[in-house]
Each structure stands twice: as C-alpha cells, then as structure tokens.
Structure 1
Amino acid sequence: MEGEVRFIYSLLAYISLPIVLAWLAYRGLREPAYRTGWGQRLALDFRTVPSGCIWLHAASVGEVQAAIPLIHALREEYPDKPLHVTTITPTGRERLGQLCGEEVSHSYLPLDVPGAVRRFLNRMRPEVGVILEVELWPNLLYQLRRRRVPLFWSMDAYLNVR
C-alpha cells in the first residue's frame, strides 16, 4: 500500500511540476529573488552542496530563526564537518545569510519529485538530517529512510509537545 500511495503522489508531483514552475516564474515577476535557484529546485546545480555533511532544512524565515542556536552548537561541536542548510523561500535564504554568513552553505530544497530528490541526496550524502518544519515531503523522507540517513524532525515548536 505504501508504495502505491507514494507512486500516486510522485505521479501527481510530476504532473504538477509545470504548474509549480509557472508559479515560481510568476512570483519572480513580482519578487526578483524568486528568479534565482532554479537549478537547485530541480537538483541540477550542485555548486553549493557539500558531500558528507550535516544537513538542516529550515523552510522559511521562522524556521531559520529557530535553527540558529542549533547551527551554532553544531559548528562548535563539529567544526570540521560541513553544515548545509536548505530553505524553500528566498527570504529564508536571505535571513540565513544575514545570521550565519559563510559559516554554513545553503541551497534550496529540491522540489519533491523522485528524480530531483535522488540527485540532491546522491550529491549531498548527508550523515544526518534535521528537518525544522511540519510539511511532509514523502519522496525526500522515503529516500532518506532508504539510505539509512538518521533523521531528526523537530515539530515540538509547532505542536507544543513537551
């Protein structure tokens, strides 16, 4: 059943890809920052993605803000390990740059289509992942599980679970 559901989800993701890309292009007309990072969103541009890193995903500004203490703690505990942060929005990317500068590398999280996710993870080969948001990305989660990448998912801030 799980495989069938993921197949249907993936099929719908591929079918909706032109709509998502058109939406990003439309956003780019109003907000120039959306005109960049297309290669990263399709996992075709790997220039900023280090291999064998600690990976954090912080979708937007709020998650980036919440991730800063963790980023600093990881940099202190593992100074020789590359730290890569993905975001979805340009504002998240901008805030990360303001707060961390060159301390971490950044890319956009690829769109959740199987090919893009595989290309991204093949390049990055994370040793561990931390997701700081509540959205579900079934293909990303599937590929991480398949590759046995330890994953920490922080939903406490959203669900007030203590």
Structure 2
Amino acid sequence: MALSVSYGERYGWTVVQVAGEVDISGVAALRERLQRLITDGCLRMVVDISRVDFCDSTGFAVLVATRRMLASRSGLLRLVLPGPETHTRKILQLFGIERIFDAHDSVEDALADLRGAVPAKGTPPEGALPENALPEEADEPDAVEVVPRQREGSPVAAD
C-alpha cells in the first residue's frame, strides 16, 4: 500500500494521519511533510500512525527527528499507535517507541486533555520542555497523497 499523509487541526493541534507503509521508499516524503508543517508554525502535533501497515527503522528515525525539531522550537509531539496486537506496534515497541514518545491509542485519547482550550497557531505550548527533554506530551483533514521520490534511473511503479 502506498504511503498517504493527510492533516488537519483539532483543539489547536495539527493532527497528521499517516497510512500505508513507512519504509525507505516513502520516508523522504513523510519527513518533508512533517518538517514543512513545523516550519510553517505547527508547534503542537499529533501524528496518527494507527493505519500504518509497516514501519521500518527509517520511519522511526523520521518520528524521532520530528520530535527533536519540535522540541527545539518548544513544541510538543504526541503519537497515536497501531493496535496493541498488530505486527507494526510490536516492531515499534522493539524500537522503544513508548519510552521515547507520548503515545496514545487514539486521536481522541491524545487530545482528551485539550478540549476547550484552543491556543493560537505558532504559540509555544504552555509547559513546553527544553530542547533535550522528552515531551510529556480536526476538523476534516486536507488529504495529501504522498508519492515517494525516485532516484534517477530507478523504475517508477505504476498503481
């Protein structure tokens, strides 16, 4: 399944929904999308990977880099993980995802403490952590189809 990324806003947080396979063939597109959102001023982000069928170490590295980039701007990141019995969740647990991230089982759980308070976009979150600290961490999203970049000379797969 091709990687797709959509995003929207809920309670002042950017909610990014990722579906498909996050591996070396599509990870650059995901990295670029997340970085662009942060540079555009999104300082509170929920990344929903509950519909990710596969995530390798390159995908995990993008999530870590996103957390670091947000932390350097006093931002926060929350993750929504795949179901507890899924293969993808088990692999991510081997990477230590629940020790590194503020992990939740649903977007609703990730945003439960935020209902009622909607801060302005670009405003640093109250209680934001220093750069090296781990964070304690929508309306209908705008759909964005992410197509992995191909190296020159690489065959392009047709859908």
Is the structural similarity TM-score above 0.5? no
Higher helix share: 1
